[in-house]
Amino acid sequence: MKNYFLLTALMLMSGLIFAQNESSDVDLAQHKIVFQLTSGDTNVHKMLVRQLGNVLTAAPNSKIEVVCHGPGITMLTTRQTIVHPKVIELKGKGIDFVVCENTLKEKKVTKEEIIPEAAFVKAGIIEIVKKQEEGWSYIRAGQ
């Protein structure tokens, strides 16, 4: 009987330890992550904003920048975006969204056609290269 109580107590304590480990799964490191978005597919845009939210939940101190170029700029154009409310929310949490000016010029899109939460960089690829040289992790969004 004594062994039964000891075994039960050990099982309860191990359950408490396991529960503590589950609740401490938040990563407090300050990760630096640059996402490259080149897809005009709205399903990719929805997936990306979900992933960005997931990253902030798992690692809330992360510094994140999303570089949109090529067809990816449609995520941030006023007429084509379907994720603008989510971009506003994520921008409020510190995520930066930038648009390639070379793409704007090539596609004849003006800066006024881009949502106000976005910033601009001369060349999206060079922005990504600079971030990687500064130690940022690179993630390609979509295909």
CA atoms within 13 A on the CB side of 104: 20
Model pLDDT, residue 63: 98
Fold classified for 28-141: Hypothetical Protein Ychn; Chain: A, (3.40.1260)
Those residues of the chain that have pLDDT short of 70 are: 1-24, 143
Residue 118's pLDDT is 99
pLDDT at 55: 97
The pLDDT value given to residue 96: 99
Structure tokens at 34: 């640059």
Q: pLDDT tens, 57-93?
A: 999 999 999 999 999 999 999 999 999 999 999 999 9
Helices and strands per DSSP (H, E), number in the chain? 5, 5
User: Is pTM, for the whole model, over 0.85?
Assistant: no
Look up residue 78 and give its two tokens: 């006023």
E-strand ranges in the chain read: 32-37, 63-68, 96-100, 118-121, 137-141
